[in-house]
Amino acid sequence: MQTSTGKRLASALAAALSVATLTAFAVAPLTEAPLPPNLRIIEPVVLRPQALPTEGEFLRQTVISRGESLGSLFRKLGDQDRELGEFVRTDPTARKLLGLQPGTTVRAEVNGQNQIKSLSYPLHAGHEPDQPPLRLELKRDGSQWQASLAPLVMDRTLVTRTATITSSLFAAADHAGIPDAITARIPEIFGSEMDFHRDVQQGDRLRVVYETFTDPMNLSDGQPGKLLAVEYQGQNQRLEAVWFEREGGEGDFYNFDGRTLRKTFLRSPMEFTRITSGFTNGRRHPVFRDWRVHKGIDYAAPAGTNIRTIGEGVVEFSGVQRGYGNVVIVKHDRERSTLYAHMRRIAPRVVEGVKVSRGQVIGQVGQTGWASGPHLHFEFLVNGEPNDPAAVLPPPEPPLDREALARFQDNTSELLRRMRWQDENQLAAFE
Ligand SMILES: [Zn+2]
């Protein structure tokens, strides 16, 4: 009787495993050419005393579903176990299992009586801020349960994936098996170059290289790490970025030639100016003579002086607003935009939805709206809130010097080889 239960469990496990394997093949990238083998970097090995299950014992694992209870988790792994449930609720270490994270794989050893003998639950980084990933181990010792924490040693693998857009960026990435956490970084990196809601077109191609951390004791897919390189080939533009850590450990995205992708802004919207009013929390309004917050910077200049946008972006508003007169708002990325007010004249092509480049003349100084004299009222908005530009504008990042550039080429050559592999393969096919 027990043997037949055992066989049933064994075959159930085998079936589960073969389903997992099939799934893994189903999400393999749709590439025309073979990709280089994954670079496998094994982190320092910590010895884990791990007895193989003896006869009549089974290894089972299950993925925690959303809203899963401890009871249903135990039932999926073996028999409902009152003692284990009680232990998890009362033991200070075992209690960490209570915060069941959906998507996490739990592994259990189960004996021939369908009793859970041990249970292993990974506490990934991010589970508790600034804590290294740990593994929670629960073990039955006779009638007693014991809980312990051990470092969770993960294998780091680099994964290359290629996707072709058919409808949206996320749909294509999903289809190619690229995790959402990785895909979400792409519009952030290229936010000011391309609007990934509007500008993607059928046939655009995306290639990414990213880290995956796999638990060697776990059969399921790994956890995505950092996005390391991305290339986007659209109809009219090609975008590229590679992650590079500078001396001191701070990292940023660069193009493949080592030029920074960090958005830089001009220090001023006018070439030669005199600032008449800085960012304050309160001042007497020059027209209304009452105290109010001044959420921008006033640049005094003769009427007709050119006004230039301090960064590239898309015109979000161009027209008349009460108080501001002729006003232009330029959106630079998801968070940041700039506002230019009291213009005498807005440049003819500066209309809503149009792209502007850094330094482009968008109009001339005037005194339309509530202004006591010709000046530019300038605001730097972060999530729609005016900020002190002097405080929030990042200093322009210096280009990599010769030494840093050599290190950049050294560190990124493997990534770039992976990115270019396919192009070379396709070229070779034509030759
Ligand atoms: Zn002002």
Give the pairing type, strands 313-321 and 297-300.
unpaired
Tens digits of per-residue pLDDT, 289-319?
A: 444 567 788 888 889 999 999 888 899 999 9
Rounded to the nearest whole angstrom, what is the distance from the C-alpha of residue 382 to the centroid of ligand 1? 17
Give pLDDT, residue 191.
64
pLDDT digits (tens, 9 = 90+) for 399-411: 788 888 999 998 8
How much distance in Å is there from the Cα of 278 to the middle of ligand 1?
8
User: What's the gap in Å between 367 CA and the centre of ligand 1?
Assistant: 11
Distance 333 CA to ligand 1 centre (A): 23
Residue 92 CA to ligand 1 center (angstroms) comes to 58
Contact residues for 60 (Cβ-Cβ < 8 A; gap 6+): 9, 13, 77, 78, 107, 108, 109, 110
pLDDT of residue 28: 33
In the chain, the domains with their CATH numbers are: 2-15+54-151 (3.10.450.350), 154-262+399-431 (3.10.450.350), 274-392 (2.70.70.10)
- Report pTM: 0.52
What's the 270 CA to ligand 1 centre distance in angstroms? 15
For residue 298, report the distance from its CA to the centre of ligand 1, in Å: 5
Give distance in angstroms: CA of 304 to centre of ligand 1: 17
CA 386 – ligand 1 centroid, Å: 12
The rounded Å distance from CA 294 to ligand 1 centre is: 6
User: In angstroms, what is the span from residue 331 Cα to ligand 1's centroid?
Assistant: 19
What residues form DSSP beta bridges with 209? 160, 229
Q: How far is the CA of 397 from the centre of ligand 1 (A)?
A: 29
**Distance from the CA of 323 to the center of ligand 1, in angstroms?**
10
**Separation of first and last alpha carbons in the chain:** 66
Phi, psi of 89 (to 5 degrees): -75, -25
Q: Report the separation in Å between the CA atom of 360 and the middle of ligand 1, taken as the mean of its atom positions.
A: 21
Q: Which residues are CB-contacts of 294 (< 8 A; sequence separation ≥ 6)?
A: 277, 279, 280, 282, 283, 285
| Segment 130-155, tens digit of pLDDT | 567 788 999 998 889 999 998 877 78
Q: pLDDT at position 37, please?
A: 44
Ligand 1 geometric centre to CA of 355 (Å): 25
Q: Which pLDDT does position 233 carry in this prediction? A: 92
Cα of 378 vs centre of ligand 1, distance in Å, is 7
Q: Ligand 1 mean position to 387 CA, how many Å? A: 13
Question: How far is the centre of ligand 1, averaged over its atoms, from the C-alpha of 395 (Å)?
Answer: 24
Rounded to the nearest whole angstrom, what is the distance from the C-alpha of residue 393 to the centroid of ligand 1? Answer: 19
Which positions of the chain have pLDDT values less than 70? 1-56, 124-131, 191-192, 217-221, 262-263, 271-293, 390-397, 421-431
Residue 42: helix, strand or coil by DSSP? strand
Closest by Cα among 265, 237, 395 to 330: 265
Q: What pLDDT, on a 0 to 100 scale, did the predictor assign at position 54? A: 55
Cα(376) to centroid(ligand 1), Å: 7
